[in-house]
Structure 1
Amino acid sequence: MTRPSTSADASDDDARIDEATGDDATADETSPRPTTAALSRVSRRSFAKATGGLVGLAAVSGLGASQEGTETGGDQSAGIRIGMVSATNGPNFYSDPVQWVEAGSTVTWELVQGAHTATAYAEANDRPQRVPADATGWDSGLLDERGATFERTFEAPGVYDYFCRPHESLGMVGRVVVGTPDLANEPALAEPQDSLPDAAAEMLAALNAVTTATFGRGQGAGQ
């Protein structure tokens, strides 16, 4: 497991993130990113199954589809893996933009291609709080060696949003839904904040639509 970065690593990570971002300086103009419509197609597959009243997510990518025991109703004890990808001449993305897990499950992010982070939307990371108020934010630090991993165990039900530091401006965000949370009390279900990059805000709004359609809107979600 790749350990989270510490303050002693911050300057090194910042330099590497700048380099990774620089590599994609023209990506906003030349590389397509996942669109809301594309995410809707993913969501129809992802939220297709339900078992025991709990909505689960089927794998939505080649990497995800190869994970045994992680589809709805399967044994999640072996953990969930999410790929972090820079497609050749294409977008930067997480292989499962929305992932449902049972409480107590461990999620592992694995670098497939490129250089990426998995960083919680949390005030501790200088971002709006889009994880449960009592949750601890996390930051993988920059992963830039293929096959490198970072993992986190999600003990408490809730909705947890995260992003890639180098590629947030290109809409590289993801969400982990743990258990069956009350959406009315989840910060992640708030409208995307004005301080967020437009592409990230668009994707988060799409994730909100997918999540509320699946788990029920509730009243005053994210308020």
Structure 2
Amino acid sequence: MRRRTFLSAVSAVGVGGLAGCNAPTGGTETELADGTGTTAGGGSEAETTAGGETATEQETQGGATETVQMVTEGSEYYFDPIGLFVESGDTVEWVIESGAHSSTAYAQSLDSADVTRIPEQAEPWNSGILTSAGASFSYTFEVTGTYDYFCIPHKALGMIARIVCGEPGDVEGDPPDGDVPAEQAIVEQGAISYSEFSG
């Protein structure tokens, strides 16, 4: 399978060590020791390399880490990439590029979702609203299928996206709040950028 990896250009935030199945690493923002940014996650502080540079991607227990940027650009609010393929065991880290956003699964068990659009056996996630540039939230995908998610403050404005883990399944059509790339296109391309999809 072809898969493109999108790396965050944020120099102050890295990917912390992640563990656990289908569980977010936390949802609170904490200031980094050097005061240059924030990261979300109970036990996942920014990790720096031996040379002092911040790690933007690392292998996690059981898989790779992919980055999705959360962006406010004028009157547009979006996840980039808007469509992403991952393997079971891979972790996705959402990073605030600009604006204030959340990464929230379409799951009726969460207050902000009216429908469920993730696999039945999957644990839903909700980062809460992250407000600082560089703030991040991570979730490890274990259950095969299709996952649709949204930003709480911008769902009505169409800030939604899709992740396919392993192979498509468990959802049909688009979420109620807008369009996302087709599952098979995500599998074939690995990642579909917002500009590619919306252009």
Higher relative contact order (CA 8 A, sep 6+): 2
Aligned-residue Cα RMSD (Å) equals 2.9
SS at match of 2:152: coil
Question: Is the helix fraction higher in 1 or 2?
Answer: 1
Query: How many positions carry a matched residue from both structures?
Result: 142
Match of 1:137 in 2: 124
Match of 2:99 in 1: 114
Q: Structure 1 residue 56 and structure 2 residue 35: aligned?
A: no
Q: Structure 1 residue 163 and structure 2 residue 163: aligned?
A: no
CA distance in 2, matches of 1:111, 1:84: 5
Bigger radius of gyration: 1
Match of 1:192 in 2: 174
Alignment CA distance shift 1:136-1:63 (3 Å): same
Structure 1 regions of 5+ residues with no counterpart?
1-53, 71-75, 216-223
Question: Which of 59, 62, 76 is the aligned partner of 1:91?
Answer: 76
CA distance in 2, matches of 1:62, 1:145: 15
Question: Is the strand fraction higher in 1 or 2?
Answer: 2
Amino acid at match of 2:145: G
CA distance in 2, matches of 1:163, 1:210: 20
Structure 2 regions of 5+ residues with no counterpart?
11-55, 191-199
Q: Structure 1 residue 80 and structure 2 residue 66: aligned?
A: yes
| Aligned-pair identity (%) | 31
* TM-score, normalised with respect to structure 2: 0.60
SS at match of 1:150: strand
CA distance in 2, matches of 1:212, 1:146: 30
Alignment CA distance shift 1:149-1:84 (3 Å): same
CA distance in 1, matches of 2:84, 2:91: 12
CA distance in 2, matches of 1:214, 1:110: 22
Alignment CA distance shift 1:69-1:99 (3 Å): farther
Shift of 1:68: 6.2
CA distance in 2, matches of 1:161, 1:144: 22
Q: Structure 1 residue 210 and structure 2 residue 196: aligned?
A: no
Amino acid at match of 1:123: Q
What CA deviation, in whole Å up to 9, does each residue of 1:176-220 have, x standing for no partner? 1112x2x3xx233x1236xx23xx2xx13x4346347769xxxxx
Shift of 1:98: 1.0
Amino acid at match of 2:71: V
CA distance in 1, matches of 2:145, 2:64: 21
Match of 1:48 in 2: none
Amino acid at match of 1:187: D
